[in-house]
Amino acid sequence: MTRRTLLASAFAALQRGQIDAAIARIQAATANNHVSAAALFVEQGATRIAKGFGQARTENEVFLLASITKPMTAAGLMKLTERRQIKLDDPVVKYIPEFTGGDRSLVTVRMLLTHTSGLPDMLPDNEALRKRHAPLKDFVAGACKTPLLFKPGTQCKYQSMGILLAAEIAERVTRIPFRDFLREEIFAPLAMTQTSLGLGGRRIPDLAQCQVPNPNDDWNWNTPYWRDLGAPWGGAHASAHDVARFLRAFLEPSGTPLPAPIAKSMIENHNQGLNKPWGIGFMIEPGTFGKACSPRTYGHYGSTGTVCWADPAKKLLCVLLTTKPADQSRAGLLGPVSDLVSAAT
């Protein structure tokens, strides 16, 4: 089937006007180089639309995902719960003995994955760590000592350092580098051949380049240091098609890579009674993604200018990867495209 035929059949199932408008919006943003590169993937059942824009060489261009990495890391932890190597309600100190003092004994593995641990999003010396090209073990050491912002389990506040410690637990339990663990246990079973935590052996020029505000810094998003650090809260690379494969594993769980009950639990609210709902790694708060999405929609944004979501009620998923930082593209591109796609059914 030719690409033109594929697009025609896709429009037969989805409202052509909404999809055309979404594509036009991305084309307009890339035509004047406001956004250097983008890739869109939309799927509903057997209907798929994939397109690259701007400097993206194909629809399979590989982008730095930023925080879309978080649910991937969470999926790795859930693989270990399936094997009973860890339990979500175990205290973190059981696996990381140096995580002690104050209320740290109250922090559980689940809290790391649902943003309820009290840990900060970033460490106070985050920039200093990056400037000296600190390894992940230095971030782990800092996360074990930094003061908690609130009593664990009493509120939800976004925290990348919780995701970092979750990955550290997985690495200590398996004794396998976490990037290798994700590749073997999550990416490979889903045929996510263009996905890696870190560079995965690729050259930086072969990847979409982030439009960084600090191009001369040797620790920005495009540098060898950051691209290959393998930060479990934001260091994965993938194509839009591969991100869609990951979303699909929760939209229609098949037992690969996680049993259906575990996969379904990841897109359910684990923060009952708190200020914000959250799944295991996934954003699930109604209204977070497209305006026409159902309340059951799950997904994630990334600070590099990325968004992915799936709506179980519509059997619809959308991935939009761009090179424009989210603080400059969420309101004008990521959000409006999600609105249009969500209204296409």
**pLDDT confidence band for 290 (50 / 70 / 90):** very high
The domain over range 63-84+177-342 is classified in CATH as 3.50.50.60: no
Question: pTM of this prediction?
Answer: 0.95
The per-residue pLDDT for 13 is 63
Q: How do residues 155-206 score in pLDDT, each as one tens digit?
A: 999 999 999 999 999 999 999 999 999 999 999 999 999 999 999 999 999 9
Tens-digit pLDDT profile for residues 28-51? 999 999 999 999 999 998 899 999
What is the distance between the alpha carbons of residues 253 and 11, in angstroms, rounded to a whole number?
Answer: 26
- Fill in the amino acid letter for 129: L
Would you say 74 and 298 are in contact if contact means Cβ atoms under 8 Å apart?
no
pLDDT band at 16 (very low <50, low <70, confident <90, very high): confident
Residue 6: pLDDT band by 50, 70, 90 thresholds? very low
Neighbours of 249 (CB within 10 A): 22
For Cα atoms 270, 241, 40, give the angle at the middle one, nearest 5 degrees.
Answer: 95
> Residue 4 above 70 pLDDT?
no
- Reply yes or no on whether the pLDDT at 234 is more than 50: yes
